[in-house]
Amino acid sequence: MIAEETLVNELKQKESQAKAFEVLVNTYKERLYWHIRRIVLNHDDTDDVLQNTFIKVYRNIEGFKGDSKLYSWMYRIATNESLTFLKQKSKKLGVSDEELKMKLVENLQSDVYFEGDQIQLKLQQALATLPDKQKLVFTMKYFQEMKYDEISEVLQTSVGALKASYHLAVKKIETYLKID
């Protein structure tokens, strides 16, 4: 695997940019796909958001200063693209963000790419009730097993605030799951 610093340098040079971008996509597409998928829930929408994420990374690589890891920077872009996509979709459908989240969870049952059982579906319903920030923190910590300092880099939030968000998310999910 190519070193991150080398990859960034190659992405910034015209003669090596195409090959470096191919390496970037092959290296990060699966992890970014699952990050986006846990936010937008639908496979086809995830593919669209993932494509938009890579386009944005390609167009803005010159602005990457190396203050954070490349992956953290791309995660941030993927997160923003996902949230923007959901806002646009709810506006287009004329429903609130909460109504859209519930509609997406309902559609999971008929999604041929969803391989979850009833418990996973119930967890997705519980996640849909969380505010975006809590959902992101929970998803990154629980599903993606990221460390708080990594999540802090991506979401640009203090570790203390992230721990509080995660704790609140867990409590809300527990409460939701106990209802049924």
Secondary structure of the chain: what % helix, strand, coil (to 5)?
Answer: 80, 0, 20
Structural domains present in the chain: 1-95 (1.10.1740.10), 116-180 (1.10.10.10)
Report how far residue 132's alpha carbon sits from residue 98's, in angstroms, rounded to the nearest whole number: 10
Kindly list the averaged pLDDT for each block of 10 residues, start to end, along the chain of length 180.
83 92 95 91 92 96 88 93 91 79 67 64 83 92 92 93 96 87
Q: What pLDDT score does 30 carry?
A: 94
What radius of gyration do the chain's Cα atoms show? 17
Contact 150, 72 (CB under 8 A): yes
Contacts 24+ apart (CB under 8 A), 109-118: 111/41, 111/42, 111/43, 113/43
